[in-house]
Amino acid sequence: MSKITVSFTVNGKKTTLTSIPNRTLLDVLREDLGLTGAKDACGGEGECGACTVLLDGKPINSCLVFIGQIESGNLTTIEGLALKGHYHPIQRAFVETGAVQCGYCTPGAVMAVKALIDNSPHPSDDEIREGLSGNLCRCTGYNKMVDAVHQVINEASNG
C-alpha cells in the first residue's frame, strides 16, 4: 500500500508524518508520537471511549479515525491539557473527587469533559451524563465524574 504524508497539529505543535493511510489515529498517536494517554479498552471497536481525543475541539474515538482523515486537523490529547507540569483543573477534580480508580478510562473521560465544558460551561447533570455516555468506566460509576465536573464549574465560577 502506498504511503501518504499528513500534516496536522497536536497539542499546539505542527506535525508531519508519513504513514500507510489506513492506520488509526490512535495507533499513530501511541506508536509514532509517543502520546500514550489515549487507550484502547475495547479492541478499537468504538465502544469504550478510552481513546477519546479532541479534533478541532470535538471529541472523537481515535480508534475509528484513519490517519489520512486528519489532514490539517487540530488535535488535543490528554498530554496537551496539563499546564506547565500541573494538572489541568479537570484532571485535578477527577483525582480529588475519587473519579479515578484504575485510571484506564480517565484520559478519555477527561477529554470528553473538556469538550463538554468548552461547549457548555454550565451543563446540567443530564448533560454531563450525556457528555460522558460514550466513555465506559468499569470502576467508579459516573456519580464521581459528575461531582468532578461540578467542582470544575464551581472553581471557574469562584475565579
Among 20, 82, 139, 156, binds ligand FES (CB under 6 A): 139
Residue 48 touches ligand FES, criterion: CB under 6 A: yes
Q: Does 95 bind ligand FES (CB under 6 A)?
A: no
Task: Give residues 104-123 in contact with ligand FES (rule: CB under 6 A).
Answer: 104-106
Based on the shown chain and the rule CB under 6 A, indicate whether residue 102 belongs to the binding site for ligand FES.
Answer: yes
Are the C-beta atoms of residues 149 and 116 closer than 8 Å to each other?
yes
Exposure letters 76-99 (e unless 16+ CB within 10 A, then b)? bbbbbbeeeeeebbbbebbeebeb
Cell of 52: 477519546
Q: Choose which of 63, 65, 78, 90 interacts with ligand FES (CB under 6 A).
A: 63
* Residues in touch with ligand FES (CB under 6 A): 40-42, 44, 46-51, 61, 63, 100-106, 137-140
